[in-house]
Homo-oligomer: A and B are copies of this chain.
Amino acid sequence: MELKPIGIIRTPFSSQDGMPRSTSQAAGAKGTIELFGPFRAGLKDLDGFSHVILLWQLDRSVDFHLLAVPPRQTEPKGVFATRSPHRPNPIGLSVVELHGVEDGVLHVERVDMLDGTPLLDIKPYIPASDSVSNACTGWLGSRGRVDVNDQSA
């Protein structure tokens, strides 16, 4: 299937140095999403949602690796057990806070992607379908779990 960007994500991160490795490490990281003109009508009613799911193109990922050693690990993990950018279909997924929508621009927080990243889709975050606070996180252990004292949860 052929996908085309519907907008551009603007973030403070021009390189991976200092970029959050996940949204869980991106509190305070603010960005904007500039939807291309033809798609802006589709933003109607989105501003009532506090969080949105962004699907985006890992456009600076040039290849995929079925096995790779994640940061701070010593053994290789399967790519589908990681959020590595080097995936067979290079689609990124981030749950971000939505602060506002105006003139086709979304103001968001908790961004964990590079500046200029092509946007593929925006979906409303719906806890009844999307939130599983007590999910087990395999090799990630406690790093993947929600801290009940964490205000971001």
In the complex, chain B residues whose CB is within 8 Å of the CB of A77: 44-45
Which of B46, B126, B138 is A124 in contact with, Cβ under 8 Å?
Answer: B138
Question: Considering the chains assembled together, what is the distance between the CA atoms of A130 and B49 in angstroms?
Answer: 16
In the complex, chain B residues whose CB is within 8 Å of the CB of A138: 45-49, 124
In the complex, chain B residues whose CB is within 8 Å of the CB of A128: 22, 24, 143-147, 150, 153
**Cross-chain contact B135 with A50 (CB below 8 angstroms):** yes
- Contact A121:B48 (CB < 8 A) given known A128-B22, A134-B127: no
Does A93 lie at the interface of the complex (its beta carbon under 8 Å from any beta carbon of B)?
A: yes
- Contact A49:B6 (CB < 8 A) given known A41-B67, A67-B41, A127-B145: no
Question: Considering the chains assembled together, what is the distance between the CA atoms of A95 and B132 in angstroms?
Answer: 9
Q: Could you say which interface size class chain A belongs to?
A: 35 or more
**Cross-chain contact A42 with B137 (CB below 8 angstroms):** no
Interface residues of A (CB under 8 A from B): 1-4, 6, 22-24, 39, 41-53, 55, 57, 59, 66-67, 76-83, 87-91, 93-95, 118, 120-140, 143-147, 150, 152-153
Sample of 9 A–B contacts (CB below 8 Å): A2-B3, A22-B128, A48-B139, A50-B132, A51-B136, A80-B124, A127-B137, A127-B144, A131-B146
Top 6 A-B residue pairs of the complex, sorted by shortest distance between their CB atoms: A48-B138, A44-B78, A24-B128, A50-B136, A45-B81, A42-B66
